[in-house]
Amino acid sequence: MEKKKVNMVAVVTMCFIFAMISFVTNMAAPFGNIWKGQYSWAAMMGNMMNFAAYLFMGIPAGKMLQTVGYKKTTLIGIATGFVGIVIQWLSSLSVFGGAAIGIYLLGAFICGFCVCMLNTVVNPMLNLLGGGGNRGNQFIQIGGTCNSLAGTLTPMLVGVLVGTVTDKTAMSDVAPLLFIAMAVFAISFVIISFVKIPEPALERKNVKYEHSAWSFRHMVLGVIAIFFYVGVEIGIPAQLNFYISDLGFEGSAAVAGFLAASYWFLMMIGRFVSSSISGKVSTRTQMICVTSLAILLLLIAIFLPESVSMTVKGAAVPMKCVFIAACGICTSIMWGAIFNLSTEGLGKYNEQASGIFMMMVVGGGLMPLLQDFIAQRAGAIPSYWLVIAMLAYILYYALVGCKNVNKDIPVD
């Protein structure tokens, strides 16, 4: 049987958008290190605002796909991101004084609208371009590799610009990164304006929807899994960043940024490997393996004595940090795999499901905030018990919850 021709221009465009999503999202944790020096409560608030936006924008973004299509939704998302970055830059100006933190959080919230819209576009589109199934997952993992590359570079750039976090460190120290972000958004808007993107949702404008995405049990359980997963993905490196920065040695912020970047680098490697094997190894099998490994790595990190250390960039860092960073290889495939398993067999309900998924990405704001609450009272390392609990549910989903038991519902 002849394989369907792949629209490589659309694939490359979606992969680039995937990278932009990570670039914007992964500025929140290192920026939180800056604001934490002035406001003890602010460490995870930028991240929280970024992900809280998903709760408000997820379903509207899904409806945008159905009404204006993938391309216009992308362009609106990019324009929104540009505005959000400009507002975050304004928070670096001394003229705003004590109001700067509020301006920064507003900018983070608006950037959340941006990445929500872009995520709503890129995941179903890559899955569609790959034809669903294992190959659809393969395409999502290719995009995820680009996402992780941007995630690797972002904390490293912030760490280099900041060096050591002190009470004098300010947003003005990372202004160059914000200017780069503005340029990327502006150039992306122009380029994507000329790119032709498939519009499957617009082709189905007159189709009747007798049910909804909520009618599918495996989609509902997948929504819960994605809520926990984003909390896991963000919480692991963010708390690692704070833990190392609080050790207080010279250049601790740079070392923290390096190890956080190692986590994202391993995510990139994991997604690259997954994109290579997904045609042969099922999505479910990959999920079961990496989730089990992540639980094991975190258990080792929790019980390993802090006195066991290694040298990173000339500083002694507890070895447990390496095991935590190594979880990146495990979380690497989870986003694409959960999305792929949860939307399998949804057909015309795909766009609606994508919007619902994006709404539940708010877990990336709520769960790391809860983890940080635990860390401030029990310590950074014990806070990873929350991550283990979330991973346990994701393992359940991979083992049992992902099976489609509603195949009798018509999706054409």
SS3 89: helix
Over residues 261-277, mean pLDDT: 85
Give 185-208 pLDDT, tens digit per residue: 898 898 888 888 778 767 666 666
Query: Phi, psi at residue 316, to the nearest 5°?
Result: -80, 120
Alpha-carbon gap, residue 40 to 142, rounded angstroms: 38
Q: What is the pLDDT of residue 1?
A: 36
Q: Are 155 and 257 in contact (CB under 8 A)?
A: yes
Q: Are 159 and 256 in contact (CB under 8 A)?
A: yes
DSSP symbols for 338-364 = HHHHHHTT-GGGHHHHHHHHHHGGGHH
Over residues 117-140, mean pLDDT: 79
Taking 70 as the threshold, does the pLDDT of residue 5 lie above it?
no
Taking 70 as the threshold, does the pLDDT of residue 162 lie above it?
no
Taking 80 as the threshold, does the pLDDT of residue 81 lie above it?
yes
Q: How far is CA 222 from CA 350, 398, 409, in A?
A: 13, 9, 18
Q: Are 144 and 271 in contact (CB under 8 A)?
A: yes
Give 241-250 pLDDT, tens digit per residue: 888 877 767 6
Q: Are 216 and 349 in contact (CB under 8 A)?
A: yes
Taking 70 as the threshold, does the pLDDT of residue 54 lie above it?
yes
Over residues 232-252, mean pLDDT: 83
Over residues 19-33, mean pLDDT: 75
Q: What is the pLDDT of residue 385?
A: 97
Alpha-carbon gap, residue 322 to 317, rounded angstroms: 9
Q: Are 276 and 305 in contact (CB under 8 A)?
A: no
Q: Are 386 and 255 in contact (CB under 8 A)?
A: no
Q: What is the pLDDT of residue 2?
A: 42
Q: Which two tokens stand for residue 34?
A: 């800056």
Q: What is the largest CA-CA distance in the chain?
A: 66
Which range is least confidently modeled, 126-130, 332-336, 373-377, 386-390? 126-130
Taking 60 as the threshold, does the pLDDT of residue 165 lie above it?
no
Taking 90 as the threshold, does the pLDDT of residue 67 lie above it?
no
- The angle, 0 to 180 degrees and rounded to 10, between the axes of the packed helices 334-343 and 217-245 is 170
Over residues 147-153, mean pLDDT: 76
Which range is least confidently modeled, 17-21, 366-370, 394-398? 17-21
Give 329-363 pLDDT, tens digit per residue: 999 889 888 988 998 888 778 878 888 888 888 88
Which range is least confidently modeled, 43-52, 220-229, 315-324, 331-340? 43-52
pTM here is 0.77
Where exactly are the structural domains of the chain? 8-195+213-401
Question: 293 versus 183: which is more confidently predicted?
Answer: 293
Q: Does domain 8-195+213-401 sit in CATH 1.20.1250.20?
A: yes
Q: Which two tokens stand for residue 269?
A: 């490697």
Q: What is the pLDDT of residue 204?
A: 65
Calculated CA dihedral for residues 128, 134, 137, 143, nearest 10 degrees: -90
Question: 13 versus 80: which is more confidently predicted?
Answer: 80
Taking 60 as the threshold, does the pLDDT of residue 3 lie above it?
no
Amino acid at 148: S
Over residues 66-82, mean pLDDT: 90
Q: What is the pLDDT of residue 41?
A: 75
Q: Are 24 and 87 in contact (CB under 8 A)?
A: no
Q: What is the pLDDT of residue 94?
A: 77
Taking 90 as the threshold, does the pLDDT of residue 366 lie above it?
no
Q: What is the pLDDT of residue 300?
A: 96
Q: Which helix (H) or strand (E) holds 237?
A: helix 217-245
Alpha-carbon gap, residue 406 to 67, rounded angstroms: 27
Average predicted confidence (pLDDT) for the chain: 83
Q: How far is CA 270 from CA 148, 317, 341, in A?
A: 9, 24, 18
Alpha-carbon gap, residue 148 to 127, rounded angstroms: 18
Q: Who contacts 75 (Cβ-Cβ below 8 Å, separation ≥6)? A: 189, 192, 193
